[in-house]
Amino acid sequence: MNEIDDTQAPLLDHLIELRRRLLWSLAALVVAFGGCLYFARPILGVLVAPLKAAGQVTIINTAVTGGFIVELKVAFFAALMIAFPVIANQLWQFVAPGLYRKEKRALLPFLLATPVLFLAGASMAYFIAIPVALKFLLGFQGELAGVTQQALPEVNEYLKFVMQFIFGFGLSFLMPVLLMLLEHAGIVTFEQLKGAWRYAVVGAFAISAVLTPPDVGSQLLLAIPLVALYFLALVAIWFTRRRRERAAESEPVA
């Protein structure tokens, strides 16, 4: 009976710690949501800027409660972006006590690279991919057999379009971190990843086909960076493996 109690106590401590980290993450998200809700309209102005730059100056709302729902969506979207570093830090603080000092040093660069890569992907989506996709998609309006075809984007659909781009590109750019973590954990090896590069290229184009509109330009804007990031991850894994091997060789034999 004592053995059962002894094994339950650490589990209970872990659950309490997990709850505390989740509450801190939720608190950060709630505080960020409150601030973003106050600035929802200026944030919405930033999100619709690519649409205006593409020459579309009208956006419609087809629901009575649409304006309110749109501001909630914008606030929640911005709150996720702002609270992401806090949530990642809480996850790290939950995992870190169970790691050795060497493992902490090994995983810390991954933690630091995560928000940087996510921001790089989101920035590429906002400044490059979204304008290119809008220019292509809005190019179908005009005269059609004597009838004027005019694009009237609906605000909720447009927000879904923009958020899909930003989150899709941001998460896709985290692929090197994921691959390096899998290799570091021993789930996959460098040789396996190197041999699967053809499948990775096909997978990159499949992911881009799902996350982007059905035009070749938008798909290439995501697929090409994904392929480049895959090979960049292979190079980083090769260097880190060499460094681990040299460190193991230099350690004195017990």
pLDDT of residue 98: 66
The DSSP string of 190-220 is HHHHHHTHHHHHHHHHHHHHHHS-SSHHHHH
Per DSSP, 144 falls in state E
Q: Which residues contact 43 (CB under 8 A, 6 or more apart)?
A: 36, 74, 75, 78
pLDDT of residue 74: 93
pLDDT of residue 7: 43
For the chain, which residues score pLDDT lower than 70? 1-9, 98-100, 102-104, 106, 251-254
pLDDT of residue 54: 85
pLDDT digits (tens, 9 = 90+) for 125-156: 999 888 888 888 887 777 777 777 777 888 98
CA dist., res. 216 & res. 220, Å (int): 6
* pTM more than 0.85: no
pLDDT of residue 46: 93
pLDDT of residue 22: 92
CA dist., res. 169 & res. 204, Å (int): 12
pLDDT of residue 48: 92
pLDDT of residue 146: 72
Q: Which run of H or of E encompasses 147?
A: strand 147-149
CA dist., res. 49 & res. 54, Å (int): 9
pLDDT of residue 103: 63
CA–centroid distance for 71 within its chain: 22
pLDDT of residue 5: 42
